Chain A
Amino acid sequence: MLGVQGLLQALIGGILEGGTYAIIALGLSLIFGVMDIVNLAHGELMMIGSYVTYWLFTLCGIDPFLSIPASMSVLFLTGWGIQKFALNPIMDDPMMTLLSTYGFAILLENLALTLWTADYRMIATPYSTQALEIGGIVINLQRLAIISIVAVVMLGFHVLLRKTRFGKAMRACAQDREAALLMGINYKKISCLTFALCTAIAGIAGALYVTTHYITPLSGGLFTLKAFSVVVLGGMGSVVGATVGGFLLGISEALASLYISTTYKDMIGFLLLLVMLIIKPSGLFGKKTW
C-alpha cells in the first residue's frame, strides 16, 4: 500500500522537481513581463547553460555546483548580445521579436548539435546518490542542494525587483514604457540588463538541471514548453507566480503519477493548464501584481 509514507515521498519529489520547474520558468516570465517579448529561445539558452556545466565537468573536472558562475556569465553575455544587437532594434514589433527568438532557438539547437552531437548527457557527481533517510522517506542531498539554490535565486531576484533602483526601473518599464522613458530611464539599457539577467538565470537552471536529468541539444524545446506551462499557471512577469506555478506543476504531476498513472502524468499537467486558462487566463499571480 502507498499510505502516508508514499504520499509524503511523492510530495517531496514533487516539490523538488517543482523547484526546477520554477527556475526554468522565471527568466521567460520576467522577459515577457518587462519587455513583452515571448522568448522562444529560453529553453535553448538553458540547454547551453547545461552544456557549459557539462563541459567544465568532463573536460576540467569542475564540480557542477562550482561551475554555476561560469554558466551564468556565459549566458549573461549571450543574453546581453542577443538583446542589444538582435532584439533592441525590433522591439516595437512583437511579431518580429517572436520570430527572432525562434530563429535563435533553431540556431542554438544546431550549434549544440554540432558541438556536442545528439548524444544524451548527464553528470554523475561522486555524491549524486547520497541521501537523507527519515522514517523511510528518502531525500536526495543533491536535489536538496538544488532546491536551496533555487530558493536563494528566487528570493534574491524578488529583493532585486522590490528593493533596488534597478528593480524599480525594471518595474517602471514593465508598467509603462513611455512614462519610464520620460522619467529618464534608459529603456534600452534596462532591456539589455533584464534579458541578460534572465538568461543568466536560465544558465543557473541549466547547470542545476544537468546534475539530475539527461540533456540533449533537443532538450531546449521541452524546457520552453515546461516554462510556458508554469508561466500560464503562475502568471507572466511574476517571481511569486513562477515559484507557485513551478511547485503546483511539480506536485500535481507527482500526485497524478502516484494515484492515477505515470502514463497520464503529462495529461494531468496540461489539464491543469487548460482549467487555469478557462478560469483565470492571466494565471494565479498575473502580470503587474509584482
Chain B
Amino acid sequence: MRICCSKEAVTKVQAAIIIVIIVAAAVGGGLYYYYYVQGPAAEIVVGASLPLTGDLSQEGSYFKRSYELAVEYYNNRSGMLGKRIKLIIEDDHSDPSTTTTVYEKLITQYGARVLLGPVGSSCTFSAAAVAEKHKVIIISSYAASEKLYTQGWKYHFGVIACPLFSASWSAPFLYFLANFSKWAPEGAPPVEKIAIIGLNNPFGKDAVERDLNISEQLGFEVVLSEYYSPDITDFTPLLTKIKAANPDALIAVNYYHDSLLLARQIAEQRVSLKAIWMGTGPDMPEWIEELGSLAENYFGCVTWPKTWKLGGADEFRSIFKKRFGEDPTLYDAWAFGAVQVLVEAVNRAGSLDADAIRNVLLTQEIETVHCKAKFAPEGYNTLYYGTLIGQVQNGTLVAVWPPDIKEADPIYPMPPPWE
C-alpha cells in the first residue's frame, strides 16, 4: 500500500532545498577556509580608523583614498614581508571615544598587526593609547600636538610632527612676518599687532599657546587670542572683537569647515586685515573652489612643494592623477607617506615585532613622497622640515616664502575680499 501520494522519494521542492543547502555549505566552507584558514597566512591585516563622517570628514576622505591607493601600490609589488596587505578602515566620526573602540576592535577582532593613524590630534591621542596597550606600532600622519610626544609612548610615530615647530603650522608664518623687510613691497604698512584664534581642542590649544610664545619672542603685540568650538556656526561676535582690537594680521588655527565659514564671514562683516593666515583651507582645492574670489590672497601652508622629488613623489603624483583625475592634495601625500613609512619599516625589520620595527624607525632614514622620516624616541620625526608659506593667487596656492623656493611674490597688504 502506498502511503505517499508522490511517486518520487524526494519531491522537486525538497530536492531544490537540499541543493541550495549543499551549495551554501560549500560556499560558506570555502569562504571560511579562505578568510580564516588560508587568509592569515597569506595576508597581513593593517587597521585604520578615519573620520568618514563628522567634522573632519573632508580630510578623512583624502586619507581613505590615499591609504587605499598606497596599499594597492605595495600589493602590486612585494607587499609587506612578501605577503598581501589587507587594509581595514572603519569610521570614527571624528570622535576620540569611538576611535578607541575602533582600534580595540581592529586589533582584537580583525587581528590587525600594525596600524595607521586617524585624523587629528584628539583622535590620535586615543589611538596611540590603544596601540601602546597592545604593543602595536601605529604610524600617524595628521597629528602634530606636542602632548602626543610627551606621554612616554613607545609605539606611536608621527610623520608630520617636527622638532622645531612640532605643534604649530602657524609658527613659520610668524617668522615670515618677522622677516617683513625681506619680502614686503617698499612703503607697505608693517605688521606690528596680531590676533590669534584657534580651535578649542588639543591641536588648537597647542598651536595657539606656541604662537603666543613665539610672537612674544619676535616682538609682536598680540591684541587678541581666543578659542572657539569646532562646532561653531557663527563667527560674527568673534569678528566684532577682532575688528575692535584692530590687528594688522590674523592667524587662525582651524579645520576645513570652520575656515570656510570664517573666510565667508570675514567678507560679510567687512573685516579688513593686512594679512590672514589659515591653518587649513588655502591648501585644499575644494576650499578655493567653494569660496571663489573670497579665497584670494589668504596665506596658508605649503608643506609639499612640487620641487620635492624623493620617495617616488613623481610616480605617486602620476598614479594618483590617473586614478582620481586630479592632483593629490597635501593630505593625500601625508596618507601615502604614512603607509610608506609603515611598509618600509616592517620590511626592513623583517618581522611584525613592534620592538624590531621601532628600532628601524629610530635608526634608519625612510624616504616618503613628501618628506624624509627618522624618528626620535618620543615619536616625532626628526627630519620633518615644517611648513613653507603659500598664498592663494588667481585660484591656486603658490609658495611665496622662503625666497629660494617661492613661485610668486606675496601680495601685501591683502585687498579687501569683498571688493
Contact = CB atoms under 8 A, between A and B. Distances in A.
B240 A13 contact: yes
B261 A119 contact: no
Interface in A158-184: none
Contact of B286 (A119, A124, A140, A142): A119
Interface of B: 52-54, 57-58, 60-61, 197, 200, 226-229, 231-234, 236-238, 240-241, 243-244, 256-257, 260-261, 264, 267-270, 286, 290-292, 294, 417-418
A257 interface: yes
Contact of A217 (B53, B200, B228, B241): B53
A214 interface: yes
Given A129-B268, A129-B294, A118 B226 contact: no
Given A1-B244, A216-B57, A222-B231, A10 B236 contact: yes
Contacts of B232: 262, 265
Nearest to B266: A129
B233 A213 contact: yes
Nearest to B93: A218
A254 interface: yes
Interface of A: 1-3, 5-6, 9-10, 13-14, 16-17, 113, 117-122, 124, 128-131, 133, 138, 140, 142-143, 212-214, 216-218, 222, 253-255, 257-258, 261-263, 265-266
A258 B237 contact: yes
Contact of B229 (A6, A258, A263): A263
A285 to B, nearest CB: 25
Contact of A124 (B231, B244, B292): B292
A124 B290 contact: yes
A21 to B, nearest CB: 10
Contacts of A140: 268-269
Contact of A138 (B54, B270, B291, B294): B270
A261 B208 CA distance: 15
B237 A13 contact: yes
A262 B244 contact: no
A214 B241 contact: no
A124 B268 contact: no
B268 A118 contact: no
Nearest to A226: B233
